[in-house]
Amino acid sequence: MPDFGLGALFGYVLWWFFSLTKSYGLAIILFTLFTKIILFPLSISQQKSMTSNSFLMAKQKELQKRYQNDKRKLSEEIAKLYEKEQINPLSGCLTQFAPMIFLFAIFSVINNPLTNMLHIAAQKLESAKALLVTLPGFTSAQMKYPQIDIINIFPNFKDQFTMFSEDESKNILDLNNGFNLFGMDLLAVPRNSSFASCLWLIPLLCLLVQVAATYFTQKMQDTQPMPANQGCMKFFVYGMSLVFTWFSYTVPAAVGVYWIISGIMDFVQRIIFIKFYNIHALNAQKEAARIARRLQEERELER
């Protein structure tokens, strides 16, 4: 039976885009845009949550000074503060983890396309994997991505993969023909590829996109107050860029393409946030809403 997890769900969507374009590279671009649209409301919620926390930070510090010797009372007053301001302290948790959940699901789709995109039964895939190790040049130790290996060699050994139906075989051939982007094989791993393959450009572009997006975003936010641990934040952001770049160097190139497109779209999203959802604007909205609530409460008391 096929896997109906999040990876399988994404597989249906990615296969639909692939069926439209017959290009995995274009399908990745459309799929990334699709996921960003889904996550955009969550991203707005995260931005508002961050703003709400900064809005309450000064008030929390006052409470901490006032009740520094009474931890129980401090907890009660902070809870009252959040209730009064109608802010859920856990509201940003989902939006923090959602992008990573999506990333792992996408990684699963790309690494296991026969399971998640074509939804081929696990028993058939096990039989195909057993056959794969009997073919020239393949051993169980070399097969880090067996489903990708099957797609790569399928045109030359199609007649031996008798476990697949005619429709499944046709779809696997379509995938084999569609994993080419500007002459680069998106099924290949940059780390294991020659310099002439140009796959090294993908992790390099991953690094450039992330560093450039971070740099220009910080430049655009120069007029906004920066946190006291700004140096630590910069180290974390640029350090994570290096980690993700190394990761894209060691996994199939299709993952790196997703990262590049995702990074570009993230930068566009940040520009939108800076322009329309910046801290000053959201704090002003919050303050206006708070004043409106108090006026409404006063009117009700006067009645």
| 228 token code pair | 């006291």
Bridge partners for 185 per DSSP = 180
pLDDT of residue 124: 94
Cβ(211)–Cβ(241) below 8 Å: yes
List all residues 6 or more positions away from 123 whose beta carbon is below 8 Å from its beta carbon: none
Q: How far is residue 35's CA from residue 10's CA, in Å, rounded to a whole number? A: 9
pLDDT, averaged per 10 consecutive residues of the chain (303 residues), comes to 65 90 87 82 70 66 77 77 62 59 76 89 92 77 76 89 93 87 83 87 90 77 49 62 84 83 84 72 66 74 69
Cβ(43)–Cβ(276) below 8 Å: no
Q: How far is residue 134's CA from residue 21's CA, in Å, rounded to a whole number? A: 34
pLDDT of residue 72: 80
Instruction: Return the number of other C-beta atoms located less than 10 Å from residue 7's C-beta.
Output: 21
Q: How far is residue 41's CA from residue 43's CA, in Å, rounded to a whole number? A: 5
pLDDT of residue 164: 94
Cβ(28)–Cβ(254) below 8 Å: yes
pLDDT for 23-56, tens place per residue? 888 888 888 888 888 877 777 776 666 666 666 6
pLDDT of residue 58: 65
**Secondary structure class of 270 (helix, strand, coil):** helix
**Secondary structure class of 184 (helix, strand, coil):** strand
pLDDT of residue 298: 72
| Burial degree of 129 (CB within 10 A; 0-12, 13-18, 19+) | middle
pLDDT of residue 125: 93
Cβ(34)–Cβ(269) below 8 Å: no
| Alpha carbon 67 to its chain's center | 41
Q: What is Dmax (Cα atoms) for the chain?
A: 88
Categorise residue 88: left if φ over 0, alpha if ψ from -120 to 50, beta otherwise: beta
pTM score, whole prediction = 0.69
Domain boundaries defined on the chain? 6-302
Cβ(1)–Cβ(119) below 8 Å: no
Categorise residue 87: left if φ over 0, alpha if ψ from -120 to 50, beta otherwise: beta
Cβ(178)–Cβ(18) below 8 Å: yes
pLDDT of residue 71: 78
Sign of CA dihedral 255, 261, 265, 266: positive
pLDDT of residue 88: 59
pLDDT of residue 224: 47
